[in-house]
């Protein structure tokens, strides 16, 4: 076990499961003069399914862009498995951006072949399994897909990689109920191996509240809480009531 | 091997402000007590149950651990998880459920100044 490694990345699995998958320490970001993130600190243990919750403009997407190495914080540290986030850490994470678009002129199957060539950690077996679970039609042109169909194809792309950290930005925005359910189901199926960690930004508390084991609340760029969800419930609070207490 | 009894989200009523695993344990216990889950029924794996119920796998893991501790389910390595065929274990779980129900009813009776017998007699009285 000691020398098993994720294919193509140099992360020993044993080390990966002990360290927090994601850690932010006092992350601060300014865009022009505006303070977008103001001293955000939290930890996500490996193997968690964590929700990043907050209203529009709270700084969720900016935080995810820092974690995915698109830009560094002005101060503080953002780490993935104890190494600073940045372009050189892209191999350990798979990211589904908010309102991301796939090339509309390609068929789903053509896109998947392209993605398979793009990502060194692509798993054909996982892709085949997810095509069935997420009910994706390889023959369909992306430009003719509904929002729900495209969201399922995007998630399929994200999960067919073997990266240990999955970051999803609003995977349910504008998605029909049946697609939401199959997206939630696919996420749980991936998690049960215990080797992947999810951080999911969403407004959709109802669909996801039974799935999260941890929630991080941010508002106006500030940390407003980080909770173990079952501990909240043991104290008689739901994810939704906690969200309301903080933001309403 | 018996077919798997799969679960759907509609099979459970969940209160989001109480620990979910506790509620799954209660509801599966009741299913076994009323015979809806027969002895020897094969249950889905943690992964299958979590995916079909759309809950965190840890929740199902804790549910199964607790049901196993209560002697209501058994896991056979490599074969899966099954409802116990030990009638005595099911019997004692039903007795425990009955005791808990009576205790709750006694509590209600006390809150309106009655004994359990008085409560039942009063409820059955004709107008």
Nearest chain A Cα distance for residue B13, angstroms: 12
Element (H, E) at A35: strand A34-45
Q: Are strands A93-96 and A83-84 parallel, antiparallel or unpaired?
A: unpaired
In degrees, rounded to 5, the angle at the alpha carbon of residue A114 between the alpha carbons of residues A108 and A117 is 145
**d(Cα B13, Cα A242) in Å, to the nearest integer?**
21
Identify from B51, B52, B63 which residue to disrupt to test chain A contact, counting A C-beta atoms within 10 A and taking the largest count.
B51
pTM reported for the whole predicted model: 0.85
Task: Using a pLDDT cut of 70, give the percent of chain A over it.
Answer: 92
Q: Which candidate, B76, B75, B96, places its Cα nearest to that of B33?
A: B96
Query: Which among A185, A186, A238 is the nearest to B17, CB-wise?
Result: A238
Q: Which of A44, A177, A233 to mutate to test the interface with B (most CBs of B within 10 A)?
A: A233
Interchain pair B56, A238: CB under 8 A: no
- Mind telling me how many Å the CA of A207 is from chain B's nearest CA? 9
Q: What local confidence, expressed as pLDDT, does residue A4 receive?
A: 45
Q: Specify the DSSP element, H or E, that contains A177.
A: helix A177-191
Question: pLDDT band at residue A247, thresholds of 50, 70 and 90?
Answer: confident
Q: Alpha-carbon torsion A127, A128, A131, A134, what sign? A: negative
User: With an 8 Å Cβ cutoff, is A41 touching chain B?
Assistant: no
Distance from the Cα of B47 to chain A's closest Cα (Å) equals: 5
Q: What's the average model confidence in pLDDT over A117-122? A: 94
- Helix axis angle for A108-118 and A147-159, nearest 10°, is 30
User: For all residues of chain A together, what is the average pLDDT?
Assistant: 88
pLDDT of A7 over the 70 cut: no
* Cβ contacts of A192 within 8 Å, gap of 6 or more: B46, B47, B50, B51, B57
Q: Which of B18, B50, B57 sits opposite A233 (nearest CB)?
A: B18
Q: What is the DSSP letter of B2?
A: P
Residues B54, A184: C-beta atoms closer than 8 Å:
yes
Burial of A125 (0-12, 13-18, 19+ CB in 10 A): exposed
ipTM of the complex: 0.79
Q: Is A111 on the interface with B (CB under 8 A)?
A: no
A31-40, A109-118, A200-209, B66-75: least confidently modelled range:
A200-209
Strand order in the sheet with B73-76: B42-43, B80-83, B73-76
- First and final C-alpha spacing in chain A: 48
Query: Are A212 and B56 inside 8 Å of each other by CB?
Result: yes
A213 close to B (CB below 8 A): yes
Residues of A in contact with B6 (CB under 8 A): none
Above 70 in pLDDT, residue A55? yes
A113 alpha-carbon distance from chain centroid = 23
Instruction: Report the residue of B58, B60, B62 to disrupt the A interface, i.e. the one with the largest count of A CBs within 10 Å.
Output: B58
Mean pLDDT for the stretch of residues A2-6: 43
What pLDDT, on a 0 to 100 scale, did the predictor assign at position B1? 67
- pLDDT tens figures, A79-104: 999 999 999 999 999 999 887 789 99
DSSP assigned state of A90: G
Distance, in Å, from the CA atom of A64 to the CA atom of A167, rounded to the nearest integer, reads 7
By percentage, how much of chain A surpasses pLDDT 90?
Answer: 69
Please give the pLDDT value at position A12.
44
Residues from chain A that touch B59, judged by Cβ atoms under 8 A, are 210, 230
Weakest mean pLDDT among A179-193, B39-53, B69-83: A179-193
Bridge partners of A115, per DSSP, are none
The pLDDT confidence band at residue A180, using thresholds 50, 70 and 90, is confident
Q: Does residue B68 have a pLDDT over 50?
A: yes
Q: How far apart are CA B66 and CA A98, in angstroms?
A: 39
Q: CB–CB of A62/A35 below 8 Å? A: no
Does residue B20 carry a pLDDT above 70?
yes
Residue A18 has pLDDT above 70, yes or no: no
The residue of chain B nearest to residue A198, with distances taken between CA atoms, is B56
> Phi and psi (nearest 5°) for A184?
-60, -40
Q: How far apart are CA A5 and CA A201, in angstroms?
A: 28
pLDDT at B59 over 50: yes
| Residue A230: pLDDT over 50 | yes
């Amino acid at each position: 076990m000691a020398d098993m490694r994720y294919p193509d990345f140099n992360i020993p699995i044993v080390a990966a499961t002990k360290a927090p998958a994601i850690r932010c320490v006092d992350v601060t970001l300014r865009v022009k003069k505006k303070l977008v993130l103001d001293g955000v600190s939290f930890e996500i243990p490996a193997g968690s399914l964590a929700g990043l919750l907050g209203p529009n403009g709270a700084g969720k997407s900016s935080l995810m862009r820092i974690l995915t190495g698109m830009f560094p914080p002005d101060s503080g540290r953002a780490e993935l498995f104890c190494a600073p986030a940045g372009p050189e850490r892209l191999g350990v994470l798979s990211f589904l951006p908010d309102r991301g678009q796939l090339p509309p002129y390609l068929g789903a199957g053509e896109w998947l072949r392209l993605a398979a060539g793009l990502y060194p950690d692509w798993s054909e077996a996982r892709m085949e399994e997810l095509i069935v679970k997420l009910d994706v039609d390889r023959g369909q042109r992306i430009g003719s897909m509904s929002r729900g169909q495209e969201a399922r194809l995007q998630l399929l792309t994200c999960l067919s990689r073997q990266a240990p950290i999955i970051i999803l930005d609003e995977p349910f925005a504008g998605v029909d109920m049946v697609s939401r359910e199959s997206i939630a189901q696919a996420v749980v199926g991936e998690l049960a191996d215990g080797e992947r960690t999810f951080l999911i930004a969403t407004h959709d508390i109802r669909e996801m509240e039974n799935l999260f084991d941890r929630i991080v609340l941010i508002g106006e760029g500030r940390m407003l809480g980080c909770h173990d969800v079952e501990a909240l419930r043991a104290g008689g609070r739901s994810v939704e009531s906690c969200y309301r207490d903080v933001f309403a | 091997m018996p077919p798997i009894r799969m679960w759907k989200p509609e099979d459970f009523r969940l209160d989001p402000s109480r620990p979910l695993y506790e509620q799954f344990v209660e509801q599966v216990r009741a299913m076994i007590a009323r015979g809806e889950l027969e002895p020897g029924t094969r249950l889905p794996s943690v992964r299958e149950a979590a995916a079909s119920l759309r809950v965190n796998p840890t929740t199902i893991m804790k549910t199964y651990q607790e049901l196993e501790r209560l002697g209501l389910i058994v896991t056979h390595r490599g074969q899966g998880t099954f409802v116990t065929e030990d009638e005595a274990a099911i019997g004692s779980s039903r007795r425990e459920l009955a005791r808990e129900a009576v205790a709750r009813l006694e509590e209600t009776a006390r809150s309106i100044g009655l004994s359990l017998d008085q409560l039942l007699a009063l409820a059955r009285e004709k107008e």
